[in-house]
């Protein structure tokens, strides 16, 4: 069981997957910072200086709250749609970055396939034998059909059959 686990864990796909997860976690922090510190201020500036992280509805709670933190400290129940907008922007950025990354890997893979060496030259005798085999395979098989029986062939066979019967009787 331990050997099977080692074989599984040390396969290339599992190692590639774990490296991808670690890089993805690091990439997430970069994307979060880009959304929070770059895109949201720009979008907020375009729509009259709105900070998305402070957009919320108070469902239940007493008071007038100007920030989400104040509402949470007072124990108010809120719908934080601004944070949802942040999460959607982060998702779009991550999806686009992964799309670009996969597209580049596919381009590199196609280049590597194009550079693949041509098949090794086949020796002349092997090529000749292959050609003969292919020609024989395309020709119809020779028909080994019996000749139709005629009176002459039937009569010729009868005496031989009679002789065999006579021998058996003796």
CATH number of the CATH domain containing 57: 1.10.1200.120
The answer to whether 49 and 19 have CB atoms below 8 angstroms apart is no
Secondary structure class of 56 (helix, strand, coil): coil
Please count the structural domains in the chain: 1
Q: Is residue 109 part of a domain?
A: yes
* Number of other CB atoms surrounding residue 71 within 10 Å: 21
Spell 30-68 as b/e; 16+ CB within 10 A means b.
ebeeebeeebbeeebeeeeebebbbbbebeeeeeebeeb
Domain that holds residue 12: 2-127
Least confident of 33-47, 107-121, 136-150: 136-150
Q: Is residue 63 part of a domain?
A: yes
pLDDT in tens, 72-90: 888 889 999 988 988 888 8
Q: What does DSSP assign to residue 10?
A: T
Q: Is residue 157 part of a domain?
A: no
pTM of the complete model: 0.49
pLDDT in tens, 12-71: 677 778 888 888 888 888 888 887 788 878 877 887 766 778 888 888 888 888 888 888
């Amino acid at each position: 069981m331990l050997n099977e686990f080692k074989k599984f864990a040390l396969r290339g796909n599992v190692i590639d997957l774990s490296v991808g997860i670690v890089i993805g976690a690091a990439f997430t922090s970069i994307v979060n910072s880009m959304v929070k510190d770059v895109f949201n201020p720009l979008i907020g500036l375009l729509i009259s200086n709105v900070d998305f992280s402070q957009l919320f509805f108070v469902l239940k709670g007493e008071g007038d709250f100007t920030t989400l933190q104040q509402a949470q400290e007072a124990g108010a129940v809120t719908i934080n749609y601004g944070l949802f907008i942040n999460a959607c922007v982060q998702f779009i950025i991550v999806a686009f970055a992964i799309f670009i990354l996969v597209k580049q890997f596919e381009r590199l893979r196609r280049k590597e396939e194009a550079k693949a060496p041509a098949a090794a030259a086949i020796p002349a005798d092997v090529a000749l034998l292959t050609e003969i085999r292919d020609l024989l395979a395309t020709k119809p098989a020779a028909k080994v059909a019996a000749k139709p029986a005629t009176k002459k062939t039937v009569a010729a066979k009868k005496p031989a059959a009679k002789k065999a019967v006579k021998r058996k009787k003796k």
